Structure 1
Amino acid sequence: MNAKPPRTLKTVTGAGGTSETYDLAIDPARSTLDTAIRVAGLAEAARIDALFTADLLSFGAQGAIGSQEPLVFVSALSQVTSRIGLIATVSTTFHHPYNLARLFGTLDHVSNGRAAWNLVTSSVGEENFGPGDLPSPEERYARAAESLEVVNALWDSWEPGALTAGPDGRATLHRDRVRPIDHAGRYFTVAGPLNIPPLPQRRPVQIQAGQSEAGRALGARYAEIVFTSLPTLDIATDFTRKIRAEAERFGRPGGLPLIFSSFHATYGSTEAEARRLVRDKRESIDFERGRAQVADMLGGGVDLSELPLDAKLPESLLPDVTTVNRRRGRVDIFAGYARQGYTLRELVIAAQDTGHWAVAGTPEQLADAVEERFRAGVLDVISLSGLADPRQHDFVVNGLLNELRKRKVVADDYTGSTLRENLGLELPPRAGAGDRSDG
C-alpha cells in the first residue's frame, strides 16, 4: 500500500471577474478576461492549486460595480490552463439544484476534472430574484442543505460501470446502472437521474463560505473545505475546533472540513518598508466613508454618524446577531472587536480587510505567520492575491511561496491530474447507494 503523502498547505489565487472601476475606453468584458488569462498562466506556472472566482448579484454590492458570471468565466479559463483548479462561487438561494448539478458537472467535464463549487447562500441580490425579501439565514441554510442533498444524489445517480467502452471503441450505456433519485423535499422535487455522463471527479470539490452558527453547521455536515474570515489565531483555533467537532458528530473523517483563509498581505523588502506601507494605507483611509463600512460589518442597522472616531462603541449600538439577516459571521467578528474595546477609528482600520487575516512584513516574516497557523492545524488552504502586479508577483512567488516550499509547507508541484487529487481529498461515500463501491 502506498504511504499517504505528507500534509501540505494548498494555495488559491483570485481569477478576476470583478472590478471596482472600469476604463470606459476599453471593452470591460475583454479586459477582465484578458487579465484573468494572464493571471491564470502565472498561477499555473507557480504551481498554485486553484483559481477562485467570487460573485456579486447586485449593482454596487459590497463596493464593486462589475461582476462576471463565475461558471462562464472559469469555463473560459479551463481552455487556457491544464492543471490548475477552477473554483466558481454560486448561490443556492437563487439557483435550482438540478441546474447546479448540470452546470458544475459540465465544468468538470470541460476542465477534465478541475471543478470546484464555492457554495454561498447570498447576503445581497434578492431585489433581482423577487418577489419577496431575502429569506432568513435559517431558511437560506435549510435550502442550501437540501440543495446539496439533491446535487450529490444527482452526481451519484450514475453508478460505476454505467458507461463502458464497447468492443468497437464506442461508449456503451448500461441503463440498469443509472438510477433516478426520486427526491421529494421541502424545497425541491427532483426525479433524476442526471442527464450528463459520470464526471471525471465523480463529484466536483465542495467548498462552503460562511461562519455563522448556521453556516458552520452546514459546513460541518457537507463541505470538504470551508472558506472563512479568521483574523486572529485564537479565532481560527476556536472556529476549527468547533466545526471539526461538529463534523465528527456527523460521522465524517478526522481533518474535515479543510480550513480555507484569505491572506491579506502587505509585503516589504524590509520590516521598515512593510511598516511604512501599512502607515501609508492608513493615512489614505477615508474615515467618514469608513463609518458606513463599519456599520455594514455590524449588519447595516447601526447609525455611527455622530459617534466620535476615538470613542468606543457603546453596547447599546451592538446588534443582537440573531436579529441580523445578512453576514452574521462578519457581525460576530466586528461586534467582538467592539466588545474588546476597539474605538470607531480602530474598527474603520479593521474594516479595510473586512474581517480577514491581515499581516505585514518581509516574505520570511509572512511565511512565519502562515507556517504558525499551518502547524497549528487551523490552516489548510490559503488565498494569495496580487499576481497581476509585477512587484506583488515577485513577493508572492519568489518570496513567500519560495520560502514556504523551502520549509516543506507547500508542495513543489501538482500531485495529480484532478483538483481533488491535488488537494488530497478522497471521494465521500456515494449518496444513497451503499451496496456498490467505486471499484
Structure 2
Amino acid sequence: MTGAGGTSETYDLAIDPTRSTLDTAVRVAKLAETARIDALFTADLLSFGAQGPIGSQEPLVFVSALSQVTSRIGLIATVSTTFHHPYNLARLFGTLDHVSNGRAAWNLVTSSIGEENFGPGDLPSPEDRYARAEESLEVVNALWDSWETGALTAGADGKAVLDRDRVRPIDHSGRFFTVAGPLNIPPLPQRRPVQFQAGQSAAGTALGARYAEVVFTSLPTLDIAVDFTRRIRGQAARWGRPDGLPLIFSSLHATYGATEEEARRLVRERREAIDFERGRAQVADMLGGGVDLSEIPLDEKLPESLLPDVTSVNRRRGRVEIFAGYARRGDTLRELIVAAQDTGHWAVAGTPGQLADAVEERFRAGVLDVITLSGLADPIQHDFVVNGLLHELRKRKIVAADYAGTTLRENLGLELPARHRPVAVTEV
C-alpha cells in the first residue's frame, strides 16, 4: 500500500534463461525503479524444466545482486520452508535487509515440487508442510527479535557499543527444530523483513491469516477475491491482528491493446495458438495430477467422478479448488484449457484505461492492495505499463506517484509488528 490507502505494484522478474539473466534483470530493475514501482518479485521452482528449459535462479542471490544497482525498490525473494532451516532463513533474509538498507521481503512457500532433490522421501503432506512453516516463522521471528532496542549503539568515538544483556537466546524446542539463538547478525534496518506468504488452501489461508503481512493468491474473479479476503481477514481478526491485514496481492495477467479491438484480437490469436491436446495435461495438473482427461471431448463438461477430493491432493490445493470449482459450475474441457493458460490467475484484456477500471473495481471493493506488472523489458509493453496503466492509476489516486520512504515496509504502509514473545513448544 502506498500513500494513504493506495495499491502497490511489484514487477515480476521472469527472465529468459537463454540470455544474460543478470544483465536483463539489472535493466528491468532500473526501469522499474525509475517508474517508481514498489518492488521486484522473484518466484522459485526447484526442479529441472519446471520453469522454461533450465529452471529459475536462486532468488536470494539474485535479488542481493540487484540490491547493489538499486536504492529504493523493494526486493521480494520466494524461499520454501520445506527445504530450508529457520536459522539459515533468519540469517539470509537478515543479511539481505542489511545489504539493501531495509528493502527485503520474504515470500514464504511450502513447495509443491522439488522433493526429488531434497530426499530421501516423498513431499510431506500439506498438513506437515504448513506445520513446519508455522514453526519456522515462530523461530525466524524470534531470532529477528532476539536483539532488543538499544542492544547496539554508537559510542562517543563512533565505534559500536554492544549491550549483551539486550541480546537474548530464544531457546526454542519444537516438533521440527531446536534453536538456541540469539541471531548472530546485528539488528535489521526493518527489524523484520516484510513477510509475504503464498498459498490459499485452508492450511495456507490459516497460516497467512496468523502471520503474513501480504498474501499472494490466485484470485481469477471478483467473487473469488471477495470471498477469500473476507475469510482470511476474518481469521486474522480472530488472532487480534489490525484491520486490513494481511494485504491482498494478486498477479495481473494483462493483455494490452491500443484499442479494445486490438486487445480482443490479441486474446483471440492467443487462444487460436493453444495446443488443446497438451492443454488436457495442463488441466489435469491444475486438478492435482492423476486425472485422465484423454477421452473427454473438448466441448463436454467433466464428470463429477473425475474431480478430486481436495483433501486427498498433496500439491497446490488452492489451485485444485479453483479448477474443480470451474468444472462444477459447468465449464467444458475446452474452457478449462483456456483458463489453464493463466494457471488460475486474474486475466484482463483491454486498453490501459480498461485495465485501470478492472484494478479500480477490486481496489474499491477492498480486495486488492498489491498487483504484479510485467513487460517492462519490451518497449511497447513498457509504454503500456508505465505511460498507460500506471499513469491512469496514479491519476485516480490508486497508486502513489513516488516512494513514501526508504524501506519497503514504509512504502507498503506497514507498521512494525509487535515484538515476538517466544513460545515454548514441545512434541506430544
Tell me the CA shift for residue 301 of structure 1.
1.1
How many Å separate the matches in 1 of 2:266 and 2:88?
A: 46
Give the equivalent residue in structure 1 for 2:6.
8
Give the equivalent residue in structure 2 for 1:157.
146
2:363 equivalent to 1:365? no
Tell me the CA shift for residue 64 of structure 1.
5.5
How many Å separate the matches in 2 of 1:274 and 1:64?
A: 29
Give the equivalent residue in structure 1 for 2:137.
148
Tell me the CA shift for residue 270 of structure 1.
0.5
How many Å separate the matches in 2 of 1:286 and 1:329?
A: 25
Q: Is the 8 A contact 2:286 2:343 kept in 1?
A: yes
Give the equivalent residue in structure 1 for 2:115.
126
Give the equivalent residue in structure 1 for 2:127.
138
Tell me the CA shift for residue 161 of structure 1.
0.2
Partner residue of 2:39 out of 20, 44, 50: 50
Give the equivalent residue in structure 2 for 1:322.
311
Instruction: Name which structure has the greater RCO, CA cutoff 8 Å, separation 6+.
Output: 2
Which amino acid in 2 is paired with 1:13?
A: Y
How many Å separate the matches in 2 of 1:224 and 1:5?
A: 17
For 1:278-289, list aligned pairs within 5 A.
278-289=267-278
For 1:217-228, list aligned pairs within 5 A.
217-228=206-217
Partner residue of 1:39 out of 19, 24, 28: 28
How many Å separate the matches in 1 of 2:71 and 2:137?
A: 28
Q: Is the 8 A contact 1:309 1:345 kept in 2?
A: yes
2:137 match: secondary structure: helix
Q: Which aligned segments of 4 or more residues in structure 1 are displaced greater than 4 angstroms?
A: none
Q: Is the 8 A contact 2:322 2:344 kept in 1?
A: yes
For 1:247-326, list aligned pairs within 5 A.
247-326=236-315
Q: Is the 8 A contact 2:214 2:246 kept in 1?
A: yes
Partner residue of 1:83 out of 72, 81, 89: 72
Which amino acid in 2 is paired with 1:366?
A: L
Give the equivalent residue in structure 2 for 1:94.
83
Q: Normalising to structure 2: TM-score of the pair?
A: 0.97
1:67 match: secondary structure: coil
2:123 match: secondary structure: coil
Cα distance change on mapping 1:42 and 1:5 into 2, 3 Å? closer
CA displacement, residues 256-301 of structure 1 (integer Å, 9 cap, x when unaligned): 0000000000000000000000000000111111010000000011
Tell me the CA shift for residue 15 of structure 1.
2.4
Identity rate, percent: 83
Structure 1: state its 5+ residue gaps.
435-439
Give the equivalent residue in structure 1 for 2:320.
331
Q: Normalising to structure 1: TM-score of the pair?
A: 0.95
How many Å separate the matches in 2 of 1:315 and 1:43?
A: 46
Which amino acid in 1 is paired with 2:304?
A: E
What RMSD over aligned residues (CA atoms) do the two structures have, in Å?
Answer: 1.2
Q: How many residues matched?
A: 422
Partner residue of 1:209 out of 191, 194, 198: 198
Which amino acid in 2 is paired with 1:240?
A: T
- Higher deviation after alignment, 59-68 or 361-370: 59-68
Which amino acid in 2 is paired with 1:362?
A: T
Give the equivalent residue in structure 2 for 1:169.
158
Tell me the CA shift for residue 65 of structure 1.
2.8
